[in-house]
Amino acid sequence: MNNTIAIFKREFAGYFGTPVAAVFIFIFLLFLFGLTFFFGFYTGEPTDQADLQRFFFLHPWIFLFFIPAISMRLWSEERRVGTVELLMTLPVTTFQAVIGKFLAAWCFAGLALLLTTSVWMTVNYLGEPDNGVILAGYIGSLFMAGAYLAIGAFASALTKNQVISLVLSVLICAGFVFAGTDMVTDPLGVVLPAVAIDTIRSFSFLTHFDGITKGLIDLRDLIFFGSLMICFLLANAIVIDFKKAA
């Protein structure tokens, strides 16, 4: 546990060693706030209730490009400069290193998400939203960000090139996002049975995130995101061990 904490501290501090972290957070907030204010806080329904449904609707799509940008350097940079060999010589297991790096990236993403709570304050000023639903949306966003990061960490372990890592991560994450859209399921529905389409939808981030943003925190949705994190982190450790042996 101490080794994991040491790796976590090293990695988390590394995000703030250069202005990159501040620039990333600024651009992330700029995009998210800009699109949220563009689409507005009101549902357009007869109640005309101010809420954050449109705000959370944007998260899977904004995360698709910004979260892999956090994870692309986790292992590819270590391999490029040759410090991964030094890291592996320390009294730390591969999985401890993987978990430490992942937790640092997840906390950084959580910090960026925390800074968006000014939108929560704004919507409370404009109306009387259901704050329980908004809290559920933030919990869902944090878990979804963790799933994105685990995929990104796995992609980062596959290559020394950060750009390739970013592209690969975006492509894998896009598969998990678009699996729940009609543009994917409708054409497949012509040749596949309904049970197969439902199975494909069950692997989509949108399917599991949508219910949470409505205030329905189903344990199965959290387990889905948690399971993805575990699977891709294990794959990450296997890749690192394989490349270390090679």
Cα separation, 90 vs 145, in Å, equals 29
pLDDT digits (tens, 9 = 90+) for 110-161: 999 999 988 888 888 877 778 888 899 999 999 999 999 999 999 999 988 8
Token pair listed for 153? 């960490």
Does the structure show a pLDDT above 80 at 18? no
**∠ at Cα 25 (215, 218), nearest 5°?**
20
Token pair listed for 11? 């990695």
pLDDT digits (tens, 9 = 90+) for 208-244: 998 898 888 889 999 999 999 999 999 999 988 887 7
Percent of residues in the chain assigned helix, strand, coil, to nearest 5: 80, 0, 20
pLDDT digits (tens, 9 = 90+) for 157-195: 998 888 999 999 999 999 999 987 888 888 887 788 888
Note the pTM of the prediction, 2 decimals: 0.89
Token pair listed for 72? 């692309």
Does the structure show a pLDDT above 50 at 46? no
Residue 24's contacts (CB-CB under 8 Å, 6 or more residues apart) are 66, 69, 70, 112
Predicted pLDDT of residue 47: 47
Mean pLDDT of the chain: 85
CB under 8 A, 24+ apart: contacts of 35-39 = 35/62, 36/119
Predicted pLDDT of residue 205: 93
Per domain, the residue ranges of the chain are: 2-41+49-245
